[in-house]
Amino acid sequence: MNGKSHELFPEAARKWAVEVMRLGYLIAWDEERFDSREGAAPELADVWRGFVLPRVVAR
C-alpha cells in the first residue's frame, strides 16, 4: 500500500494501515528502546512501511 494507491483500498483497510503505521512509529521513536540513539530510529519506520505494512494490510 502506498500513497498513490490508498484510494483503491476499502476504508477499513486504510484505517488499519494508519494503526499499523502508528505502531511502527511508536517503536521507532521509543526512547528506552533506542537510548543510545537518543530515542530515534527513523530508518525503522521506513523498513516498517516497506516490509510490515504491505504484509498486514489487505484489500
In this prediction the pTM is 0.73
> Which pLDDT does position 1 carry in this prediction?
47
| Grid coordinates given for 4 | 498513490
User: Phi/psi class of residue 39: alpha, beta or left (left: φ > 0; alpha: ψ in -120 to 50)?
Assistant: left
| Grid coordinates given for 41 | 530510529
**Regions in the chain scoring below 50 on pLDDT:** 1
